[in-house]
Structure 1
């Protein structure tokens, strides 16, 4: 078999395409990331020259800055809810739709519809549902005379928001798993059935293991969604009064009135390390299992 050699024009096109992608990746992702790491060790307001402060920003964040630990707890709670509730629910719906239910296309479209909405829009919808004064939920519960403040009460507003976020995340996970289930070889299921395996045994011992590539994608997406969350809480109450998140703290410090860019960069670096910790740990475990 004769191997075709690339012409000079082919090599030029490949170089341009790869070059543009690499430049954009470095300029828009790695460049700002490295800059944030450097700025996290400085005190800078964006106007005067940065002043080196070493690890003082990190010490202040961990030991002095009041919103930090509540934000960490909320981000981890966000991640746990998406991973332990919304993701399994999305998988469950995918399995049901894979059975070719009647009106399956309608159910699939209805479940996927929230995914096309941004979290900011979901936040506005959540306000219409949960609002103390005009929310639909209080009307349904008959609490118009003594309404529940779902968004103003810091003991319950995080749960109300997580339900809204989970509503969107379920559809995203469902469509990913549904695509994975469509790719499973039907012969595997038939062989399991001939061996006497029940429906649940077939799924957990045959179907689910073949979904490992999808599981990795879902895990990464879930971690990213859980830790980058910002839009919905900012749309509701600017991420305050029980809805503090690390991403909101970064925004408040970098572009807020304080303009503490070095301090905000340190929070961003902490958020990056938490994200990498979850993803790298899981990927290392998967690679070890494959070996």
Structure 2
């Protein structure tokens, strides 16, 4: 009995010794900075002074009652997130179905769609900025098409569309890989049985393939949701928030207040609100899609 208790305690001590360094790293990298974020969100601080002024919940009151930039950036982020999630997942599923048909060019096409994802969104933004400003101008002069003469980065509506299209172009390869893996896990005998029963391609897709893609859809929607809510780098490099601040996302608004206006306490409060929003939306999304997976 004593030997058994001694062995159990020894195993617990060994487990604690091996896990303690990991817990310390997690605390230093996440929990301590998060606690400092909560603290600084209740202060008025310019990032330089040694003694931030405690203001309580005044920063949060200002954000929700008197900050029109935050409201506009939140609306921009919501529009962007909804369209990005829907379009990138629909296009990725359609492309995955086509590339899963064992075509001769399938390996090359997969590589072509995935290569943009390797590039940083900042680099992609600068590349497309050159295309929109110089490339489209040259194409307009050579073809005479009016679509190339539009101010894609100088008009609020077109600037929003430009950000959305560039983001989808850069990231669709990532979601494509997820859906191809999901399609390859669909049992072939189910498709063959459906064919024997007289089901057509559309019927097989919506009755067999799509329900069995539920785990892949859950992962892809989760990734698209978190990435779209935190969109920043493509805006920084492509439009810089213009024209006239109409393409400010929440993340870009936080960056502008914190690092350009030196409102570190105020920007930290906005960052905390963004964190809580991402957390709540993510939990709801995962719960909803997991329930749909069980039903499917």
Which residue of structure 2 lines up, in the alignment, with residue 285 of structure 1? 288
Q: Distance in 1 between matches of 2:21 and 2:122?
A: 31
The one of 143, 160, 172 equivalent to 2:174 is 172
Q: Distance in 2 between matches of 1:121 and 1:159?
A: 18
Q: How many residues align?
A: 281
The one of 172, 178, 192 equivalent to 2:194 is 192
Q: Distance in 2 between matches of 1:114 and 1:283?
A: 28
Is 2:163–2:238's contact at 8 Å kept on the other side of the alignment? no
| Structure (1/2) with the larger helix percentage | 2
Which residue of structure 1 lines up, in the alignment, with residue 274 of structure 2? 271
Distance 1:28 1:60, change over 3 A: same
Q: Distance in 1 between matches of 2:145 and 2:17?
A: 63
Is 1:71–1:244's contact at 8 Å kept on the other side of the alignment? yes
Is 2:257–2:264's contact at 8 Å kept on the other side of the alignment? yes
Q: Distance in 1 between matches of 2:82 and 2:193?
A: 36
Structure 1 residue 213: deviation in Å? Answer: 1.8
**TM-score (structure 1 length as normaliser):** 0.86
The one of 43, 57, 60 equivalent to 1:58 is 60
Structure 2 alignment gaps of length 5 or more: 1-6
Distance 1:174 1:144, change over 3 A: closer
**TM-score (structure 2 length as normaliser):** 0.85
Q: Distance in 2 between matches of 1:288 and 1:120?
A: 37
Q: Distance in 1 between matches of 2:55 and 2:220?
A: 39
Q: Distance in 2 between matches of 1:164 and 1:287?
A: 30
Structure 1 alignment gaps of length 5 or more: none
Distance 1:55 1:240, change over 3 A: farther
Q: Distance in 2 between matches of 1:69 and 1:82?
A: 20
Structure 1 residue 18: deviation in Å? Answer: 4.1
SS at match of 2:102: coil
